[in-house]
């Protein structure tokens, strides 16, 4: 019985997990989050993470819990780029 429960739990867990984040992707995501923090010094870290969560829902159509790491990176980079454009307007 215990063996059957372990097998069922393993199957369920496999359905709900994403592949592990690679080191290079982790580094790039943390660097992008750091850049967002630098571009918005008046925003607390918790607020920044909440903002990213809202952006994930709006742009990726899901929750931050379920988003794929590469999609999360894309959302964070888009947010960073938008902040840069606000701070450093283009010369055009």
Residue 68 domain-assigned (yes or no): yes
Give yes or no for residue 9 having a pLDDT over 90: no
- Distance in angstroms (rounded) separating the CA atoms of residues 65 and 31: 20
Please give the Cα distance from 2 to 18 (Å, whole number): 26
Structural domains of the chain, count: 1
Please say if the pLDDT value at position 12 is more than 70. Answer: no
Please check whether residue 20 lies inside any domain of the structure: no
Question: 72 in a domain, yes or no?
Answer: yes
Q: What is the pLDDT of residue 31?
A: 96
Residue 47's domain comprises: 25-92
Determine the Cα–Cα distance for residues 6 and 12; give it in Å rounded to an integer. 10
Domain-embedded: residue 45: yes
In a domain, 2, yes or no: no
Task: With respect to residue 10, please indicate whether it lies within any of the assigned structural domains.
Answer: no
Mean pLDDT of 56-80: 91
Asked, for residue 86, whether it belongs to a domain, the answer is yes
Domain membership flag for residue 3: no
pLDDT at 23: 86
């Amino acid at each position: 019985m215990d063996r059957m429960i372990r097998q069922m739990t393993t199957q369920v867990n496999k359905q709900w997990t994403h592949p592990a984040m690679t080191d290079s992707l982790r580094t790039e995501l943390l660097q992008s989050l750091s850049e967002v923090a630098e571009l918005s010094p008046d925003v607390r870290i918790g607020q920044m993470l909440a903002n990213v969560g809202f952006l994930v829902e709006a742009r990726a159509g899901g929750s931050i819990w379920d988003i794929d790491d590469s999609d999360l990176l894309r959302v964070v980079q888009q947010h960073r780029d938008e902040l840069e454009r606000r701070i450093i307007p283009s010369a055009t």
